[in-house]
């Protein structure tokens, strides 16, 4: 069975809350996030709302990220895009309106977030990728996508303030993470 067919099958039967992604030709099935993970995502969405009411804060939305895999289907922890960017019935959406993707590492997904998704998001031209790396105790902001990588990487210790570039133009306070 081709990997794309297996991906569709796993996606159809995955229990509620489980995430199924096809990343660089490999199927990844991830259990629901733990409380700490969700607290971080919740805090981030609240800070975005406080600074940019014009942006949609999407959790659980699928993106089509060409080059991340044969199908290019991923599901970031948080996506920031203009409101209404994904106002359709599709499961996976074009990534062109995305301003920022956020991944919060877990034991089972950390390597994908640090490497494979980084490549996919850069290839898709997503302007900013914020990686909350719980294992390393830091936040990595990737900006200026250039082909298969980002031209700029800034590392901040958890508990510091992370300035997001324009067109976002506000700061994330990680002291609550």
In CATH, what is the architecture of 34-176? Alpha-Beta Complex (3.90)
pLDDT in the model for residue 177: 86
**How would you classify residue 139: left for phi > 0, otherwise alpha for psi between -120 and 50, otherwise beta?**
beta
Residue 84 CB neighbour total at 10 angstroms: 9
The domain spans of the chain are 34-176
pLDDT in the model for residue 12: 76
* Bond from prior residue into 54 cis (ω within 30 degrees of 0): no
pLDDT in the model for residue 9: 76
Which residues of the chain, if any, have pLDDT below 50? none
pLDDT in the model for residue 19: 67
pLDDT in the model for residue 171: 97
Q: What is the enclosing helix (H) or strand (E) of 58?
A: strand 55-58
What is the model's pTM? 0.81
């Amino acid at each position: 069975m081709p990997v794309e067919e297996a991906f569709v099958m796993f996606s159809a039967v995955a229990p509620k809350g489980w995430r199924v992604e096809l990343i660089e030709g490999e199927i990844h099935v991830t259990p629901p996030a733990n409380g700490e993970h969700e607290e971080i995502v919740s805090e981030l969405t609240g800070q975005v709302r406080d600074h940019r009411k014009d942006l949609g804060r999407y959790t659980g939305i699928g993106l089509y990220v060409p080059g991340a895999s044969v199908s290019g289907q991923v599901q970031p922890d948080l996506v920031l895009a203009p409101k209404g960017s994904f106002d359709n019935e599709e499961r996976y959406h074009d990534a062109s309106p995305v301003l920022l993707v956020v991944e919060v590492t877990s034991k089972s997904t950390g390597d994908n977030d640090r490497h494979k998704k980084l490549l996919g998001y850069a290839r898709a031209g997503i302007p900013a990728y914020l990686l909350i790396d719980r294992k390393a105790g830091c936040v990595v902001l990737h900006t200026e996508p250039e082909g298969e990588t980002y031209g700029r990487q800034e590392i901040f210790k958890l508990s510091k303030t992370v300035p997001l570039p324009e067109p976002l133009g506000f700061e994330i306070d990680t002291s609550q993470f």
